[in-house]
Amino acid sequence: MFYARLGGSVLAPAMNIAIIGGGPAGLMAAEAAVAGGARVDVYDAMASVGRKFLLAGKGGLNLTHSEPCPTFLTRYGGRRAQIEPLVAAFGPDALRAWAHELGIETFVGTSGRVFPFDLKAAPLLRAWLRRLRHDGVTFHMRRRWTGWDERGGLCFATPDGNLSVETDAVVLALGGGSWPQLGSDGAWVRVLAGRGIPIEPLRPANCGFDVEWTEHFRTRFAGCPVKPVVVAVTKADGTESRQQGEFVITETGIEGGVIYAVSAGLRDAILAKGSAVVRLDLAPDRNLPRLIADLSRPRGSRSLASHLQRRANLEGVKAGLLRECVPKQDFADPTRLAAAIKALPLRLIAPRPLEEAISTAGGITFEALDERLMIRALPGVFCAGEMLDWEAPTGGYLLTACLAGGRAAGAGAVAWLKSRSSF
Ligand SMILES: Cc1cc2nc3c(=O)[nH]c(=O)nc-3n(C[C@H](O)[C@H](O)[C@H](O)COP(=O)(O)OP(=O)(O)OC[C@H]3O[C@@H](n4cnc5c(N)ncnc54)[C@H](O)[C@@H]3O)c2cc1C
């Protein structure tokens, strides 16, 4: 604690809040904490903050989603109840208004997703950091948090050696474990697990999957987009989820938007059973009877490839997928071939590693936290962002929950300090 001075007279004890992790969750925690009257220091392991946020802007920064709130909240699956109060306090509309205040106008894309007009993250981050600095937030880069010392000080490894920092409260916003080269490496799991904090194992979310391609298929088609395609998955409760979109064949399997959308269930099924099957509709614009009729027309002297192209509009990678997955004899039977085109089974054997995923599932369980996102067992230690145990598909749901959680944790730290009489 330090005492604010004005003209030499001591005014009031000031609240010192350390924010560790300068991603969207941490920066929003800093904003909320400084707005609440705290002295705020942001620490980050990297040389600059917001690296993953900047990467997110490379493919078009999807800030949030415009769909109605009840639908929006379903995206958080089993963690809906825990995310709902955060989003109620800072949801998609508030987020857009916040971006507007920073001088960043947003628009709703055809899919309902919300983007900054220029699609980029850098102008938003620049404006945000400028305002945070103006409001008094101090940034400390290349400070890798490693835990607490025996006196309760925060320990940091720095290029100049180890550092211990005393503070009144801390917000941990250390991210998940994907793209560790951008700063979030999940090393905090060991530190907090060592303190007995319940943590669900970190797992890849919004990830690609491995498929046992033949060498021939891999060499010919790695890098090829498959579109349009409908991916059907049987969920754990027996119902079927169908998503239309596109994905890419990779050296090791498949990845891309439509796969990310169904990746959580597939990952869990692989974990439980060792593999999972998706069914691909390679001809979403034709129904099965029409396809059977088209494929039943005489082939004449045409090759199978040109028959498929002419009668089912299938060529290139889609025809390659058929050859890869359908037994040879089925090509001679229009009914079986049409059925395969409409529901081609593809066996996935493993999710791609966490390091490659868009986001992380698992993390500190909400049961370990109070309603202000303070770790019950560690009074004064708050958490936010991807390091908490929730997951969501792409579509702006990740950033929305990180920003909303950061805001709750920063405000929560201020409220907790104020509730202790000395402030
Ligand atoms: C390619 C890609 C595209 C994406 N696109 C989108 C998108 O369009 N829309 C969307 O909603 N989401 C998107 N995301 C996800 C989104 O970027 C993340 O959900 C979000 O950045 C997580 O925020 P966070 O603050 O929790 O963690 P992070 O952004 O990971 O920030 C954590 C910070 O903590 C620091 N840190 C970690 N450990 C330590 C330590 N021990 N000591 C000190 N500092 C530490 C890190 O350096 C980092 O700066 C994308 C992700 C990727 C990889």
pLDDT band of residue 237 (cuts 50, 70, 90) is confident
| Spatial contact of 17 and 43, defined as CB atoms under 8 Å apart | no
Q: Which two tokens stand for residue 209?
A: 């999957």
Q: Is the pLDDT of residue 172 over 70?
A: yes
Mutate which of 66, 111, 184 for ligand 1 pocket (most atoms within 8 A of beta carbon) = 184
CA of 142 to the centre of ligand 1 (A): 16
Q: What is the pTM of this model?
A: 0.94
360 lines ligand 1 (CB under 6 A): no
pLDDT band of residue 396 (cuts 50, 70, 90) is very high
Atom number in ligand 1 closest to CA 46? 47
364 lines ligand 1 (CB under 6 A): no
pLDDT of the residue at 11:
43
168 lines ligand 1 (CB under 6 A): no
| Spatial contact of 374 and 382, defined as CB atoms under 8 Å apart | yes
pLDDT of the residue at 253:
98
Q: How far is CA 256 from CA 163, 204, 357, in A?
A: 42, 14, 11
CA of 287 to the centre of ligand 1 (A): 42
Pairing of the two strands 2-6 and 9-14: antiparallel
CA of 170 to the centre of ligand 1 (A): 18
Helices marked H in 108-253 — which ranges?
Answer: 122-134, 188-194, 215-221
| Spatial contact of 73 and 65, defined as CB atoms under 8 Å apart | no
Atom number in ligand 1 closest to CA 22? 49
Mutate which of 55, 58, 158, 174 for ligand 1 pocket (most atoms within 8 A of beta carbon) = 174
Q: Is the pLDDT of residue 31 over 80?
A: yes
pLDDT band of residue 13 (cuts 50, 70, 90) is low
Share of the chain above pLDDT 90, in %: 90
55 lines ligand 1 (CB under 6 A): yes
pLDDT band of residue 5 (cuts 50, 70, 90) is very low
Q: Is the pLDDT of residue 3 over 50?
A: no
pLDDT band of residue 304 (cuts 50, 70, 90) is confident
Asked which of 103-112, 301-310, 317-326, 335-344 is least confident by mean pLDDT, the reply is 301-310
Q: Is the pLDDT of residue 6 over 60?
A: no
Give 259-292 pLDDT, tens digit per residue: 999 999 999 999 999 999 999 999 999 999 999 9
* Nearest-angstrom CA–CA distance, 128 and 29: 13
pLDDT of the residue at 421:
67
pLDDT band of residue 89 (cuts 50, 70, 90) is very high
The DSSP element (H or E) to which 364 belongs, if any, is strand 359-364
CA of 45 to the centre of ligand 1 (A): 13
Asked which of 6-10, 179-183, 202-206, 379-383 is least confident by mean pLDDT, the reply is 6-10
pLDDT band of residue 363 (cuts 50, 70, 90) is very high
Atom number in ligand 1 closest to CA 186? 38
pLDDT band of residue 301 (cuts 50, 70, 90) is confident
Q: Closest by alpha carbon to 263, among 86, 395, 83?
A: 395
Burial class (CB in 10 A: 0-12, 13-18, 19+), 23: buried
21 lines ligand 1 (CB under 6 A): yes
Mutate which of 398, 403, 407 for ligand 1 pocket (most atoms within 8 A of beta carbon) = 398
144 lines ligand 1 (CB under 6 A): yes
Instruction: Average the pLDDT over 70-91 and give the result.
Output: 97
* Nearest-angstrom CA–CA distance, 315 and 323: 11
pLDDT of the residue at 236:
81
* Nearest-angstrom CA–CA distance, 60 and 114: 10
pLDDT of the residue at 15:
92
